[in-house]
Amino acid sequence: MALVTKAIKGTKDVLPKDVHKNQYIEATCLDTAEKFGYKEIRTPVFEHTELFQRGVGDTTDVVQKEMYTFDDKGGRSITLRPEGTAGAVRSYLENGLCNEALPQKVCYLTSCYRYEKPQAGRLREFHQFGVECFGTQSPLADAELIALAKAVFDNLEVKDLSLEINSIGCPTCRAEYHKALKEYFSSRQDELCETCRGRLERNPMRILDCKSPVCSAIAADAPVVTDYLCDECKEHFDAVQKYLKAQNIEYTINPKIVRGLDYYTKTVFEFVSTGIGAQGTVCGGGRYDGLVDELGGQKTPSLGFAMGLERLMMLLEAQNAPFPQAAVPDLFIIALGEKATLKAVEIAGDMRAEGFEALIDLNQRSLRAQMKYADKLGAKFTVVIGDNEVEQGVARLKNMANGEETEIALTTFVSGFYNISLSEQLADLEINGEEFDFGSLFGIKNEEE
Ligand code: HAM
């Protein structure tokens, strides 16, 4: 059978056998952020195109080359979000979060869309965990933000990530720096790509971030921003480093980090790995003191970061990091015949209400086929119920890990609870050498309680 179509280039399915890994990473991100006071925000997958043009910057690669932009049926220009910050700022302003106690801290798990050349670690649909902190200019906030990213990596037991930081200054020192860059690049103007020739006048810093090999070779010897920082930016950068040291966070200063988006000011940083190929930046972020007012709000110094979840997954897998096991059914009830099926439906319902994963065979197949299916699903226990078992009110429960069988009473399965004697019988059952709380599996209640 020929498929009608295949997944779009640069997109990836996550299959049921793997999804627990994504869920574990996502839950760790959110739990860690919560410890730092971040609450989740959810914003739409598409926004008006001008949000990104103004927010991300119309001389960036993202806006000039990579956005999925289209006109909707009403003739409005719409863009699938290429990143999460601009939408978070829009929502912060539009929903009046800016009038609440500052700083406001939000975090998000989102899909993002960029029309980039797909390769390992570079997708056209990818996912980010991001955080944004609105309303503080303190260098304490920059250091706390970096500490949060590091805590996520530590909690996931990621190894060998290096933290690189830089300061790209404020509009005051940027003016001087732009002058120096223009001078430098003008002498080699003819060698630059067409996009970068256009950037020379409007935003020469963007040339430093161009992916063309010729432009990046020329950019390698360009003046570095740290030589042009004003006193205030220098002081701020020193203080960030003081607070990082106070938390024993190791870093190196990389004066070449400029980031690919226009909104950054002062502190920028990246967590980089050498273990996952050319796309080694797992997390990037920094301060953006001018973005909130650029998008129509009051001047609000702010900062944030985002980590690429696919890159994080690649890294964890490459390092054989510990993932939790995928959940398997606690009990598979093999029912033979109509009466038994009715009993199985009842037991499964009670078990689920008690919080367990209990399954029956929806296809009502033979004993052998059901047993095989339960085994394939990795069920911890099975119980076979036929007409006999229903009439006599007893069945045999099988521990699939060691094959041990235990008799359980079905007749006492009234109002969701087995009786105490069964609890005693089952108390010592073990799964894979670990004691398994069968009492709670069956919702066994001690009648004397
Ligand atoms: P970004 O550096 O463009 O920053 O993206 C953040 C992270 O997303 C990257 O470090 C990378 O791990 C991942 N990423 C980016 N592009 C791709 C791609 N094509 N395929 C797979 N992963 C990718 C931002 O997006 C900013 N909004 C971060 C931020 C938040 N700054 C302040 N607040």
Distance 131 CA to ligand 1 centre (A): 12
pLDDT per residue as tens digits for the range 238-247: 999 999 999 9
pLDDT per residue as tens digits for the range 130-170: 999 999 999 999 999 999 999 999 999 999 999 999 999 99
The neighbouring-strand residues paired with 134 are: 104, 302
- Which single residue is written with the structure tokens 């001087």? 176
Distance 125 CA to ligand 1 centre (A): 12
Peptide bond into 16 cis (omega under 30): no
Backbone angles phi, psi at 84, to 5 degrees: -100, -15
- Which single residue is written with the structure tokens 């599996």? 441
Q: Are 269 and 259 in contact (CB under 8 A)?
A: no
Structure tokens at 156: 């996931």
Chain centre to alpha carbon of residue 361: 35
Distance 183 CA to ligand 1 centre (A): 30
pLDDT per residue as tens digits for the range 189-203: 999 999 999 999 889
Q: How far apart are CA 214 and CA 229, in angstroms?
A: 28
Distance 281 CA to ligand 1 centre (A): 8
The neighbouring-strand residues paired with 104 are: 134
Pocket flag, ligand 1, residue 209 (CB < 6 Å):
no
Chain centre to alpha carbon of residue 343: 42
Residue range 257-284: mean pLDDT, rounded = 94
Nearest atom in ligand 1 to the alpha carbon of residue 281 is 10
* C-alpha dist (Å) from residue 106 to 37, 109, 135, 141, 305: 8, 11, 12, 14, 11
Q: What pLDDT was estimated at residue 411?
A: 54
Residue 238 is given by DSSP the state: H
pLDDT per residue as tens digits for the range 18-35: 999 999 999 999 999 999
Pocket flag, ligand 1, residue 282 (CB < 6 Å):
yes
Residue nearest to atom 14 of ligand 1 (CA): 308
Pocket flag, ligand 1, residue 85 (CB < 6 Å):
yes
No. of H helices and E strands in the chain?
A: 16, 18
Q: Which of 83, 107, 289 to mutate to test the pocket of ligand 1 (most atoms within 8 A of CB)?
A: 83
Amino acid at 264: Y
Percentage of the chain exceeding pLDDT 90: 79
Structure tokens at 373: 């299916």
Q: What pLDDT was estimated at residue 181?
A: 95
The answer to whether residue 428 scores a pLDDT higher than 60 is: no
Residues sharing a CB contact under 8 Å with residue 216, sequence separation 6 or more, in sequence order? 210
Distance 231 CA to ligand 1 centre (A): 30
Q: Kindly write down the DSSP assignment for every residue of 205-228, as one continuous string.
A: GGGGG--SHHHHHHHTTSPPGGGG
Give residue 425's pLDDT band: very low, low, confident or very high (50, 70, 90). Answer: very low
pLDDT per residue as tens digits for the range 328-365: 998 999 999 999 999 899 888 887 887 788 999 999 99
Pocket flag, ligand 1, residue 265 (CB < 6 Å):
no
Give residue 422's pLDDT band: very low, low, confident or very high (50, 70, 90). Answer: very low
Pocket flag, ligand 1, residue 308 (CB < 6 Å):
yes
Structure tokens at 303: 């900062």
Structure tokens at 49: 């195109």
Give residue 284's pLDDT band: very low, low, confident or very high (50, 70, 90). Answer: very high
- Answering whether pTM is above 0.85, one says yes
Q: How far apart are CA 227 and CA 169, in angstroms?
A: 10
* C-alpha dist (Å) from residue 169 to 255, 258, 286, 400, 428: 11, 10, 11, 63, 65
